[in-house]
Structure formats: structure tokens, C-alpha cells
Structure 1
Amino acid sequence: MIGKNHLCYCGSGKKHKKCCMGKEKNDRVSSVTVDMGEPTVINALQIDSDGNICFQKDGQTIIPQSAHLTHLISNNKDKVTSNIPLKEVDKLTSDTFKALAPLDFLFIIDTNTPLENNNVEKVKSACAAIYYQKVATNLDYVNGMGKVFYHQNNIPGEKHALVELIQYILFELKIGADKIVGIVTDHDLGNHDKYNSRELPLIKGTELFLPENFTLIYASADKKNENILTKLISECDKKATELLKGN
């Protein structure tokens, strides 16, 4: 158990008593949001001890069209710390590990660009990624990678790195369309649903759409101790920062 004079687990560098002490019960919120596709009357909701959720109407289970598991900090302007599209809408869950269970591969990527580069035509960025593959019922660590690259200033480095990662997955790792791939990023949460539905290309003005078997997942690199996804993307953020400093 963390003591009041220990460093706070959130990573702020402050003592626990001057940071998150006393807030834990009130400010962390997990929610499952659903889209039924059309107006639907629900008159029963079941949640079991394992976090499995079931909507019912007159004793019949109602399956939503889509659903998300979202974690946020409610006293910080509703700061979203992670957002996972649920692949199995007939098995709704509030458990992060169960939400990731349908994936065959999980990639985590973070890209950093120095602020002083923002006024130049050619920008230097660094990205770092790690990935996991499903072995039996677990997602096991496979590899980590990182690189420094230059790109046009009118397109964010995060977009360049994401497209390169997708190409690497498809053409280097040769992961086929029969595998479900999740990519965790802390960029552009507001457009994730449009990318995932292939309504919007990854880069404006191009035909670079997310492959059908890919899903973008959001996690904040700023809140490294919130859950497993924020911890992993924080590791990528740290590595990308080190790569920039070394070049």
C-alpha cells in the first residue's frame, strides 16, 4: 500500500498526500457507451462480477451496433485516458484485458516532434513502437522499434509514423487480412471512429484508409499509471523522446 509520503503513483513527482491521495474513489471513471443503430427501448441491464454487461428488452438480449470502453478522469475536464472500440459487441465488458482479447496483434506507437520545428518546412520527428502477438489467450511481447525521420510540416509526424507502421505490418511482417490488428495511439482521438469506419482517410487528400482488419485504439501518454495501455504508450513516448535527444 502506498504511503502518504511516498511519491504518487500517477508519476507527477509529488508526494501522494499532495497529489492523488483522497481522489482515487471519485475521479476515475470507466464507461461502456453503445450505439444501437436506431432508437431502442432497454428495460433491463445486467452487470456481473466479472464486468460483463448485457442489455435486455422484455427478457431478450439486445446487441448494439457498436460499443466503446472508455476510461477517463472526471475532475480533469473529463480527460480521456483510454478509449477501446469493442470488437465483440455481443460480449460487452468493462474489463480492459477482455476488451483486448479479440486482437491477434497489438501495436503501440507514439511520435514526438520538437516544438521549435513547427515553423520550418521540413520537420524532424521520432517515433517508437512496441508490439504484442496473441499466444493462446495472452498477448505476448514480440519486439520494439524506433526511428528518427523528416517530413513535411503540413502533415503531422504522428500521421506519417502511423502510415509507415501500417505498411510495415502489411509488407514486412506480412500480417494478413485474416488477423485482427489493434494500433494504440495518443493522437487525434476525435477522428478515431471515422478512421475505424473508413469514412475518413488517415491523411487528408489521400486514399490512405485504415485496412479493414485494423482498429485504432486511444491511450494517453500523459497518464502513464492509469491502465496497461497508458503505461505502454508512455514507454513509447519516453523512447521517442530519447531518440530525438540523441539526434
Structure 2
Amino acid sequence: MSSITRFGNLTLKLPEGVEVSNSTENGEVISLFDENGRVVIPEYVQVGLGYKTDKGKFKVTHSLRSDNKTISTNLSVLLSKYDVLYAIDTNKKKIDDIEYCISSRMLMQMELTGEQLWEMKLIRLPAFIFTTPIEHEEKIGWSQFIEQEHLALNGKKIGIVTDHDLGHMPLYNQREKAILDLGLLPENIDFIYASADRDKGSPLNKAVMQCDADSNLLLKQIYNKKMNLSALANSESAFFDQSGSLVPRAKCN
């Protein structure tokens, strides 16, 4: 990725009837103005990075919520609002006519050691295995993780890094779009987008990539008959058939 030029990506929700005609960036803070030079304060802002593919398409590598009055492009500032960060990725594979899904989750412990230089430890959490989903497996993974870990009740501001559904992320984060039986995203939780296949220099992307790798490794073990699935239990959920937890043996860095 070092040879790829990255471009800033800004997602805005503006007040009705308001348009942005100009913008400036000073000290990693973006200011927006209308056609009369008046400052525009969006109702919602996401700031991120991306790159142009060989075909000219813009690919977002990460995107996260910013304060709407002080729009920062500094990743450390953007992440500073969160007390806890998690990463999650859920993959699916059809094996012997059964669709198996594994949702891998990690606690992210990050420390800024220099200008946009990060030291990060990833701590594996129990993965969730489920079968025959009737809704998208990533959304089932989100909902089950938030409910299982009681994240809405712990009193902390939480960021959950995911590579799914970037287009609807502003609606989830503004509590305007429901997530299965979870309903609206709890007020103390924001989704953060990071792709699982690009931008290895970002700690967000590295975390999602590790979740993706773990999930695929566990699915490969099922495919190769190296996992005992006898403990899977029938689920009370309307969204999948059977489920269980996989407790990790080790942490990863």
C-alpha cells in the first residue's frame, strides 16, 4: 500500500436546505462554508481515507465518526472519544449443504507512540458459530456480540470496527436504522468502518484483517473435519438454526 496515494473521504449529513460550497483544512481540522461564506455545521460527519483503484473507482479503507463542530482528520483525535474499541468480522461457508458462520471478535488495546504510529495488542474474545442464517451473517454477528457482552449497559463509550455496510453506517450511528432484533444501535456505541483487505498501515484495518483471518481459519477447520460440532445447540433465534461459542486459546499481537 505504500505506493498507493490515499485521499481523504468525507461523509456529511447537512441541515435541510443547506449546501457546502467551499471547505478549508487547517491543522487537521476541516471547516465548511456555504456560498455566502457562512460556516456550515453538519448534523453528522464521518471522516476517512481511501484510494483510487486501477479502474478509477474510489475505495474507502476506513471511515469513522467525527465531532460535527470540529471536524478532525487526525485518527488519534477521532478515536479518543472511545473508552473501548472492538473489532469484529463474520464469514460464511457452505459445508456438506449446511451454511456455517463464524463471527470473530477482538478487544483492541492501542497506544499512540509517534505521529500516526500505533502500538496495538489484540485480545481474542470467544468466537460465535451459527448455522443457516436467514439474514446477513455480519448483522447477526453484530447483534449477538452487543447483546452477549451487554455492551449497552457497561456505561462506556464503545467503538466497534467492522468491514460491513459502510453505506448505511451513518444511519446506524444516528439511531435511524434498526439491526435485526437488537433494534437501534445503543447510544453508547458507534460503528467504525475499516476494510479487511487494504491499508495495512492502519491499526483499524489490521484488527479487522485479523478477525477475518481467524474466522476463515475456523471455517477451514470445520471443512477439514477438525472441529467437534456436537456441542452446537438449537437456537431460540429466528435468524439461525444452531449456535455455540469457541473459546480462544491464546492472545495475538
- TM above 0.5: yes
Is 1:189 the counterpart of 2:166? The answer is: yes
Matched with 1:31 is 9
Is 1:210 the counterpart of 2:185? The answer is: yes
Aligned with 1:158 (options 138, 146, 149): 138
**Which amino acid letter does the alignment assign opposite residue 30 of structure 1?**
G
Matched with 1:112 is 91
Matched with 2:248 is none
* Contact kept? 2:72, 2:78, Cα under 8 Å: yes
Runs of 4+ in 1 over 6 A off after TM superposition: 57-60
Q: Which residues of structure 2 form unaligned runs of 5+?
A: 112-117, 222-226, 228-253
* Contact kept? 1:51, 1:95, Cα under 8 Å: yes
The 5 A counterparts of 1:1-247 are: 10=1, 21=3, 24-25=4-5, 28-40=6-18, 45-48=23-26, 50-56=27-33, 61-76=39-54, 77-86=57-66, 88-114=67-93, 116-117=94-95, 120=97, 122-132=98-108, 141=121, 143-170=123-150, 175-176=154-155, 179-203=156-180, 206=181, 208-225=183-200, 227-246=202-221, 247=227
- Residues 135-192 of structure 1: per-residue CA shift (max 9 Å, x gap): 9xx9975732242512333122222221121013326x9512xx22111111122222
Structure 1 residues 52, 64: closer, same or farther in 2, change over 3 A?
Answer: same
- 3-state secondary structure, aligned to 2:176: coil
Q: Which residues of structure 1 form unaligned runs of 5+?
A: 1-9, 11-19
**TM superposition shift of 1:83:** 1.7
- 3-state secondary structure, aligned to 1:113: strand
**TM superposition shift of 1:80:** 1.8
**Which amino acid letter does the alignment assign opposite residue 58 of structure 2?**
D
**Which amino acid letter does the alignment assign opposite residue 52 of structure 1?**
V
RMSD of aligned alpha carbons: 3.2
Rounded Cα–Cα distance in structure 2 between residues aligned with 1:200 and 1:43? 29
**Which amino acid letter does the alignment assign opposite residue 175 of structure 1?**
N
Deviates more, 1:146-155 or 1:97-106: 146-155
**Which amino acid letter does the alignment assign opposite residue 78 of structure 2?**
A
Structure 1 residues 41, 216: closer, same or farther in 2, change over 3 A?
Answer: closer
- 3-state secondary structure, aligned to 2:61: strand
Percent of matched pairs sharing the same residue: 25
TM-score by length of 2: 0.71
Q: Larger relative CO (CA 8 A, sep 6+): 1 or 2?
A: 2
**TM superposition shift of 1:207:** 5.5
